[in-house]
């Protein structure tokens, strides 16, 4: 086994990534919650608008945190050497679903928030802001790539299990 393979399969690296996922899973929603709650209030906003805007801001971060929690479980399995274990593959799938949900929420939630936060302006002055950033598109692509890797890993695990039954 060459050195580069040893580094990639290192249980220490997998454990470190699992810890990083836990830390980010907690810090991401917390940071978004604090940033949106402490943001200066717009003039004329009703308290309900501020609360709904705050809750809407948590949706994409919470989806990403859920995905990171699944990634943590996947890395824990990798640290034990369970690379093609169904639980590891399922956790990786959960990560891709969480990231996909975060990407979709990152596109949809700002549209909803723009309506909620401009509701106090009255008919004819309310706004609907629609936007898609390159970060949104990259996160969608990333989630799709990980999903495809999960499909390939499931097929590889099935083939390995089939081959093991012949021996």
Per-residue pLDDT of the chain (167 residues; tens, 9 = 90+): 444 444 456 889 999 999 999 999 999 999 998 988 787 777 677 888 888 888 998 999 999 999 999 999 999 999 998 888 899 999 999 999 999 999 999 999 999 988 888 887 878 887 888 989 999 999 999 999 999 999 999 998 888 888 888 86
Q: Is there a contact between 122 and 165 (Cβ–Cβ < 8 Å)?
A: no
Instruction: State the helix-helix crossing angle for 134-166 and 86-117, rounded to 10 degrees.
Output: 160
In this prediction the pTM is 0.84
Residues 6+ apart with CB under 8 A from 52: 116
Query: Measured between alpha carbons, how far is 43 from 31 in angstroms, rounded to an integer?
Result: 24
Q: What angle do CA 99, 102, 104 make, to 5 degrees?
A: 110
Q: Is there a contact between 71 and 125 (Cβ–Cβ < 8 Å)?
A: no
Q: What is the pLDDT of residue 9?
A: 60
Q: Is there a contact between 109 and 59 (Cβ–Cβ < 8 Å)?
A: yes
- Every domain of the chain and the residues it spans: 3-166
Q: Is there a contact between 108 and 125 (Cβ–Cβ < 8 Å)?
A: no
Query: Measured between alpha carbons, how far is 109 from 92 in angstroms, rounded to an integer?
Result: 25
């Amino acid at each position: 086994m060459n050195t580069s393979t040893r580094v990639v399969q290192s249980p220490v690296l997998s454990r470190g990534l699992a810890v990083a996922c836990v830390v980010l899973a907690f810090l991401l929603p917390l940071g978004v919650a604090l940033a949106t709650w402490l943001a200066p209030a717009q003039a004329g906003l009703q308290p309900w608008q501020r609360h709904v805007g705050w809750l809407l801001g948590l949706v994409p971060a919470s989806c990403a945190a859920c995905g990171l929690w699944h990634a943590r479980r996947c890395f824990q399995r990798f640290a034990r050497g369970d690379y093609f274990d169904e639980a590891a593959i399922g956790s990786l799938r959960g990560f891709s679903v969480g990231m996909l949900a975060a990407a979709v929420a990152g596109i949809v939630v700002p549209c909803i928030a723009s309506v909620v936060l401009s509701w106090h302006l009255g008919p004819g002055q309310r706004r609907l802001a629609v936007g898609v950033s390159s970060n949104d598109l990259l996160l969608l692509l990333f989630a799709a790539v990980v999903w495809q890797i999960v499909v390939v890993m499931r097929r590889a695990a099935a083939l390995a299990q089939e081959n093991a039954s012949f021996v």
